[in-house]
Structure 1
Amino acid sequence: MRYPGAWPRESGLLDGDRLLPLDQLLPLDRLVREDRVPVLTVGSNASPGQLRYKMDEFGISSPIPMVRARVTGVDVGVSAHVSRMGYVSASPVDAPGTVRELFVIWLDAEQLAVIDSSEGVPLPNGNYDRVWLPSPDVRVELPDGTALPGTHAYVNRHGVLHDGTRAPRGHPGQRPLLTELLLRSRTLRELFGVSADQFSARGTRVFAEERLVTASGLERYVRSRWTGSPGTGLSLPPPLT
């Protein structure tokens, strides 16, 4: 429900668990990184938490510059697939004349391979292709006024959802999106329920109904964890009874 995660308010340098002020680390004339690839983000790849998660999976700790840019010609649409995590993700759509504030992340070769993998680019049945969006079709203007010659972006192989007129619809956020989709589609309601919460909860219930669930073996620690252990830091108070 929190997809795409929290975006920064300003440009920054993602360094492990820290998002550092970019303008204090790089002069404005160094926003263009010749040694890195610019990637335009419209969904969770603009969330520092999601980027950190993806990099941690592969043991990559190198910093990632995240530059807030003024983008003309692209808007945020809705991917025509449900992710394995259960959310309906964002996807860039062609929108001549539309101006948006979006993030460009500058990735080295190792980082780019991680993001490519997370988007399914190397797989024949993956969800996204990485493409080059050239200027002037898409104008990306950095805070110092520099216009990039183009940028990479991830385009959904399934297409995007339309607004009823065959034009791509916008992504209003996960909860309002799921609520609207369920209101408009009887088939979706039959599959996933009548609310965004049911959309998420339905899968959990199916696991139980299909008898796919067993105990983890760690349930005995649920109550004892509250009291902590001597010598391991602060102990938590026991739960109220």
Structure 2
Amino acid sequence: MTTKDRSLEALGLDDVPAKKPLTYPGRPTTEPSLLTGGELLQLDVRPLRLGEWYVEEQEAQQRLDEALADLGQVGTGRRHPVIAVGSNASPGQVAHKLTRLGIPATVPMVPVRVQGIGVGCSGHISPAGYVAGTPYVARGAETTLVVTWLDSTQLKAVDDTEFPDYRRAILPGDTFAMTMPSGERLGAAYIYFSAHGVLADPVTGQPRPGGGDQSELLASLLADSARLRDLLGPDPATWVRRAGGDRSLRERGTRIFGEEGWVLPQTDFLPYVDESAELRLYDDLPPLDDSLPYRV
């Protein structure tokens, strides 16, 4: 029986923005999937909880929770749903973050409709040299974002890649409706938001759209600021090479964002900040509630 190659390379999802900054945010999964090592297996959506969906695996189907158990991994009910806004929606980036630490890259990844959240650009330059995405509260908006289901070890590893530039909040489902492809609603989910604020468009004063082509974003920022051109120009390739290799340049570029008057503060998420994440209390981190991850 011939089976389709589900490797990240074959699917064109193996880009790692941490290694190739101009590919940021990487290519997200566009369908419910199970990332397992270097493969991305399709999930057959059922009108049931996530763990009861089926994994389209080789010659046979298997329930997701059963597949996770066979891989020696915890089931969905003991995992933490985390909304990915930037490269954490990219299977290649997630696999890189986890496997480089010796952590199994076995992660359910599901596109979910999220209300009240927009995607903008963080008001800082990341260690890799790119300008990363960040969520912001946008009442009335509906955005499809990938939710990753991380176990406690994976969550801590991702936290370590995000802090101190990002903080983790818990979004309540009664304020930010989150609808699965099955029609079920998440009761809550984690989300990382930038501690540096959101970049504003210099003309409109509204958040610059994030999640698009990194080269276009950097070219636009260079065009809007002579000081950035002098520091990191003349082009996006030069920007990421210089910024990625010199912390002081990143810090100076970040300061220029603020001095140009581009940075909008992020305060709307503060009521939802996860204090346990701030204190790094992971030993017995429970799911968000006893019925996680759903509330219909």
* TM-score for both structures, normalised by structure 2: 0.64
Out of 40, 64, 79, the residue aligned to residue 19 of structure 1 is: 40
- The 1:140–1:81 alpha-carbon spacing in structure 2 relative to 1, beyond 3 Å, is same
1:192 has 2:238 as partner: no
1:75 has 2:75 as partner: no
1:113 has 2:134 as partner: no
Report 1:81-230 matches (<5 A).
81-120=124-163, 126-164=164-202, 165-171=204-210, 172-202=212-242
Q: State the one-letter code of the partner of 2:207.
A: P
Sequence identity, in percent?
A: 41
- Once residues 239 and 197 of structure 2 are traced to their aligned partners in structure 1, the CA distance between those partners, rounded to angstroms, is 22
Task: Report deviation, 1:200.
Answer: 2.7
- Once residues 205 and 59 of structure 1 are traced to their aligned partners in structure 2, the CA distance between those partners, rounded to angstroms, is 25
1:239 aligned partner: none
Q: Find the structure with the greater CA-based Rg.
A: 1
Unpaired stretches in structure 1, ≥5 consecutive residues: 121-125, 207-241
TM-superposition CA deviations, 1:56-84 (whole Å, max 9, x none): 12211151000111111111110111111
- Once residues 205 and 131 of structure 1 are traced to their aligned partners in structure 2, the CA distance between those partners, rounded to angstroms, is 30
Out of 76, 89, 92, the residue aligned to residue 46 of structure 1 is: 89
* TM-score for both structures, normalised by structure 1: 0.77
- Once residues 233 and 174 of structure 2 are traced to their aligned partners in structure 1, the CA distance between those partners, rounded to angstroms, is 44
Unpaired stretches in structure 2, ≥5 consecutive residues: 1-21, 52-75, 247-296
- The 1:145–1:179 alpha-carbon spacing in structure 2 relative to 1, beyond 3 Å, is same
TM-superposition CA deviations, 1:138-185 (whole Å, max 9, x none): 111000111112210001111110123443221132111001000001
How many residues of Structure 1 are paired with residues of Structure 2 in the alignment? 199
- The 1:183–1:61 alpha-carbon spacing in structure 2 relative to 1, beyond 3 Å, is same
Q: State the one-letter code of the partner of 2:141.
A: T
2:50 aligned partner: 31
More relative contact order, 1 or 2 (CA 8 Å, 6+ apart): 2
Query: Residue 88 of structure 1: SS of its match in structure 2?
Result: coil
